[in-house]
């Protein structure tokens, strides 16, 4: 399904509305209010159309020849970026827990408002996580560049990096999260509400597969983001006033990069973001390109385990029509 453009009809309607007001003259107040309310409704429709420009749009589920819907999943989608077409849609608009796919929006906000060369001092809060949490190995009072933090965030899914980024850009995690939600709304991701920058479970922390597509699609316009998610590894230099200088090396968390899943033969995996949490299940959003170089965004959310996640993702990408 694709979007449509109603600019001409909107402007024609606006001129018509002005004429109606002039003709109405001293008409009853109720009539004028009714005309105004109708104009506001039409304006909302116009705004919705603007959101849909150059975007893939789907309201209902869409089947894809060559791919069998897996009811174990919470949601899944395949988007042809150049075609502006949703090739597959399964529960795209259901509200779901995103786990660490949250960090795509964290990176978007950091790239928009941050400075890659900034030196960030890591706080105690940034390194205070449960032992089984996904972290990059930062220590309190570490000094590290914003660029390095973003590499660790996107490649290795560091929760510690997410907090350090948030505190540096907005002064507090809470202020940064407000900024995240504001930016999500600007992108049209109106079914998203985040309460933290890393994606650890909170009841009021949710999004949809379609909103993730909107956010990831916008990130793709940033060359720095594309460079970061496509790296096979990144070595960060960290300074600490107590322990001195050390290096941390981070690699991508998705199985295709690790050689634990065989990528489909009809596409090249560029990179993406994983997410795993008990209630969210196993999640993955990827950018891939077909053999002609056309970009696609694929999303699988809520798989019961990694085996199902990568089997479904591989099958979904394999069903991309030959260009």
Distant-in-sequence, close-in-space partners of 22: CB < 8 Å, separation ≥ 6: none
| pLDDT score for 17 | 41
| 273 closest CA partner among 160, 166, 142, 150 | 150
Per-residue confidence (pLDDT) for residue 45, from 0 to 100: 42
75-318 adopts what CATH topology? Beta-lactamase (3.40.710)
CB 225 within 8 A of CB 104: no
Alpha helices, H only, the chain: 7-24, 29-52, 103-113, 146-155, 159-170, 173-186, 209-219, 223-230, 255-258, 306-318
Residue 94: CB atoms within 10 Å: 15
Q: Are 238 and 122 in contact (CB under 8 A)?
A: no
Q: What are phi and psi of 249, to 5 degrees?
A: -115, 130
Angstrom distance (rounded) from CA 149 to CA 158: 8
d(CA 96, CA 29): 45
What DSSP character marks residue 56? B
What the block records as the tokens of 29 is 């107040």
Residue 309 to residue 316: CA distance in whole angstroms: 11
pTM of the predicted structure, to 2 decimals = 0.85
Query: How much of the chain, in percent, has pLDDT values that exceed 70?
Result: 84
- What does the alpha-carbon distance between residue 25 and residue 96 come to, in Å, rounded to a whole number? 51
Provide the token pair at 221: 């316009």
Hey, where are the domains in the chain? 7-52, 75-318
Partnered with residue 297 across adjacent β-strands are 79, 287
Q: What is the pLDDT of residue 14?
A: 47
**Cβ atoms of residues 251 and 233 within 8 Å:** yes
Residues of the chain with pLDDT under 70: 1-53
Model pLDDT, residue 145: 99
Q: Are strands 85-90 and 119-121 parallel, antiparallel or unpaired?
A: unpaired
pLDDT given for residue 76 in this prediction: 99
pLDDT at residue number 54: 85
| pLDDT tens digits, one per residue of 59-72 | 999 999 999 999 99
Residue 234's pLDDT is: 99
């Amino acid at each position: 399904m694709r979007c449509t453009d109603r600019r001409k009809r909107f402007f024609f309607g606006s001129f018509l509305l002005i004429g109606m007001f002039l003709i109405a003259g001293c008409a009853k107040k109720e009539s004028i209010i009714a005309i105004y309310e109708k104009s506001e409704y039409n304006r909302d429709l116009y705004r919705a159309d603007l959101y849909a420009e150059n975007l893939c749009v789907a309201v209902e589920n869409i089947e894809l020849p060559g791919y069998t819907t897996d009811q174990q999943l919470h949601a899944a989608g395949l988007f042809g970026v150049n075609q502006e077409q949703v090739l597959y849609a399964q529960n795209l608009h259901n509200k779901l827990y995103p786990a660490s796919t949250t960090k795509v929006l964290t990176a978007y906000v950091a790239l928009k408002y941050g400075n890659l060369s900034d030196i960030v001092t890591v706080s105690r809060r940034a390194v205070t996580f449960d032992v089984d949490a996904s972290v990059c190995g930062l220590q309190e009072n570490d000094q590290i560049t914003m660029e390095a933090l973003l590499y660790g965030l996107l490649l290795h899914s560091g929760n510690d990096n997410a907090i350090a980024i948030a505190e540096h850009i907005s002064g507090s995690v809470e202020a940064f999260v407000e900024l995240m939600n504001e930016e999500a709304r600007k992108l049209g991701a109106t079914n998203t509400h985040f309460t933290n920058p890393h994606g650890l479970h909170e009841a009021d922390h949710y999004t949809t597969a379609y909103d993730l597509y909107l956010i990831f699609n916008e990130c793709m316009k940033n060359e720095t983001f594309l460079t970061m998610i496509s790296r096979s590894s990144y070595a960060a230099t960290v300074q600490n006033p107590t322990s001195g200088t050390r290096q941390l090396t981070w690699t991508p968390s998705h199985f295709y990069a690790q050689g634990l899943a065989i990528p489909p033969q009809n596409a090249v995996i560029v990179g993406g973001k994983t997410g795993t949490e008990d209630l969210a299940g196993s999640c993955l959003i990827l950018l891939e390109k077909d053999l002609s170089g056309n970009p696609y965004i694929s999303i699988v959310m809520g798989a019961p385990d990694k085996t199902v996640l990568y089997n479904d993702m591989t099958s979904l990408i394999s069903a991309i029509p030959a260009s």
